[in-house]
Amino acid sequence: MSKNLKIRIEIYEKLFEGTEVENSPLDFDLKFSFPAKKPRGAIYLRFVRGKRKNEDALIWETQVQSAGELAPKTKRQIKAWVIDAHTLTDDWFFKMIEGELLRRFE
Protein backbone atom coordinates (compact mmCIF):
# COMPACT_ATOMS: atom_id res chain seq x y z
CA MET A 1 0.00 0.00 0.00
CA SER A 2 2.86 2.36 0.75
CA LYS A 3 4.57 1.89 -2.59
CA ASN A 4 1.53 1.76 -4.88
CA LEU A 5 -1.13 3.84 -3.11
CA LYS A 6 0.90 6.29 -1.00
CA ILE A 7 -0.73 4.97 2.22
CA ARG A 8 1.49 4.12 5.19
CA ILE A 9 0.12 2.25 8.19
CA GLU A 10 2.49 0.99 10.86
CA ILE A 11 1.78 -1.20 13.85
CA TYR A 12 4.04 -0.50 16.81
CA GLU A 13 6.70 -3.25 16.70
CA LYS A 14 6.99 -3.54 20.49
CA LEU A 15 3.44 -4.92 20.62
CA PHE A 16 4.81 -8.22 19.32
CA GLU A 17 7.92 -8.40 21.49
CA GLY A 18 7.70 -11.00 24.24
CA THR A 19 4.43 -12.36 22.87
CA GLU A 20 3.55 -15.27 20.66
CA VAL A 21 1.72 -13.04 18.20
CA GLU A 22 3.03 -12.77 14.64
CA ASN A 23 3.37 -9.35 13.07
CA SER A 24 1.41 -10.42 10.01
CA PRO A 25 -2.29 -9.47 10.04
CA LEU A 26 -4.82 -12.10 9.03
CA ASP A 27 -7.25 -9.38 7.99
CA PHE A 28 -7.63 -5.61 7.93
CA ASP A 29 -10.33 -3.02 7.36
CA LEU A 30 -9.08 0.57 7.35
CA LYS A 31 -11.49 3.46 6.96
CA PHE A 32 -10.63 7.14 6.93
CA SER A 33 -12.94 10.13 6.63
CA PHE A 34 -11.98 13.73 5.94
CA PRO A 35 -14.11 16.89 5.88
CA ALA A 36 -14.61 18.31 2.40
CA LYS A 37 -15.56 21.83 1.35
CA LYS A 38 -16.36 21.04 -2.30
CA PRO A 39 -18.69 19.30 -2.27
CA ARG A 40 -19.53 20.08 1.33
CA GLY A 41 -19.56 16.91 3.39
CA ALA A 42 -16.92 14.21 3.73
CA ILE A 43 -14.72 12.00 1.60
CA TYR A 44 -14.10 8.44 2.76
CA LEU A 45 -11.28 6.07 1.90
CA ARG A 46 -11.57 2.42 2.82
CA PHE A 47 -9.10 -0.40 2.30
CA VAL A 48 -10.14 -3.98 3.05
CA ARG A 49 -8.43 -7.30 2.56
CA GLY A 50 -10.59 -9.45 0.35
CA LYS A 51 -10.59 -12.17 -2.28
CA ARG A 52 -10.84 -12.11 -6.07
CA LYS A 53 -11.01 -15.46 -7.86
CA ASN A 54 -9.83 -17.15 -4.63
CA GLU A 55 -6.70 -14.97 -4.45
CA ASP A 56 -5.91 -12.28 -1.87
CA ALA A 57 -6.92 -8.85 -3.07
CA LEU A 58 -7.08 -5.28 -1.83
CA ILE A 59 -10.53 -3.71 -2.00
CA TRP A 60 -10.34 0.08 -2.24
CA GLU A 61 -13.42 2.28 -1.87
CA THR A 62 -13.60 6.04 -2.32
CA GLN A 63 -16.86 7.68 -1.35
CA VAL A 64 -18.15 11.24 -1.07
CA GLN A 65 -21.11 11.90 1.20
CA SER A 66 -23.13 15.01 1.93
CA ALA A 67 -25.92 14.43 4.42
CA GLY A 68 -28.55 16.51 6.21
CA GLU A 69 -28.20 20.25 5.66
CA LEU A 70 -25.13 19.67 3.46
CA ALA A 71 -27.01 17.50 0.99
CA PRO A 72 -28.05 19.08 -2.33
CA LYS A 73 -31.78 19.72 -2.61
CA THR A 74 -32.56 20.87 -6.15
CA LYS A 75 -31.90 19.22 -9.49
CA ARG A 76 -29.29 21.89 -10.30
CA GLN A 77 -27.57 21.40 -6.92
CA ILE A 78 -27.54 17.63 -7.39
CA LYS A 79 -25.93 17.95 -10.82
CA ALA A 80 -23.27 20.31 -9.43
CA TRP A 81 -22.69 17.95 -6.47
CA VAL A 82 -22.13 14.98 -8.80
CA ILE A 83 -19.59 16.94 -10.84
CA ASP A 84 -17.76 18.15 -7.70
CA ALA A 85 -17.77 14.67 -6.12
CA HIS A 86 -16.42 13.09 -9.31
CA THR A 87 -13.74 15.77 -9.64
CA LEU A 88 -12.61 15.15 -6.06
CA THR A 89 -12.53 11.35 -6.28
CA ASP A 90 -10.82 11.47 -9.68
CA ASP A 91 -8.15 13.80 -8.30
CA TRP A 92 -7.49 11.58 -5.25
CA PHE A 93 -7.47 8.40 -7.34
CA PHE A 94 -4.80 9.61 -9.75
CA LYS A 95 -2.70 11.17 -6.97
CA MET A 96 -2.73 7.88 -5.10
CA ILE A 97 -1.76 5.68 -8.06
CA GLU A 98 0.79 8.02 -9.66
CA GLY A 99 4.07 6.32 -10.39
CA GLU A 100 4.49 2.60 -11.01
CA LEU A 101 0.85 1.62 -10.50
CA LEU A 102 -0.40 4.23 -13.00
CA ARG A 103 2.22 3.13 -15.55
CA ARG A 104 0.80 -0.42 -15.40
CA PHE A 105 -2.50 0.88 -16.81
CA GLU A 106 -1.12 3.22 -19.49
Q: Comparing C-alpha atoms, which of 53, 2, 56 is closest to residue 28?
A: 56
pTM for this entry: 0.84
Q: Could you write out the DSSP letters of every residue in 33-70?
A: EEEEETTEEEEEEEEEEEEETTEEEEEEEEEEE--GGG
pLDDT digits (tens, 9 = 90+) for 74-83: 999 999 999 9
Q: How confident is the model at residue 1 (pLDDT cuts 50, 70, 90)?
A: confident
Tell me the domain boundaries of the chain.
2-105
What pLDDT does residue 105 have?
83
**Residue 53, Cβ neighbours under 10 Å: how many?**
5
Decide: helix, strand or coil at residue 6: coil
Report whether 74 contacts 81 (CB < 8 A).
no
Among 52, 81, 51, residue whose Cα is nearest residue 66: 81
Confidence of residue 102 (pLDDT cuts 50, 70, 90): very high
pLDDT for 25-52, tens place per residue? 889 999 999 999 999 999 999 999 999 9
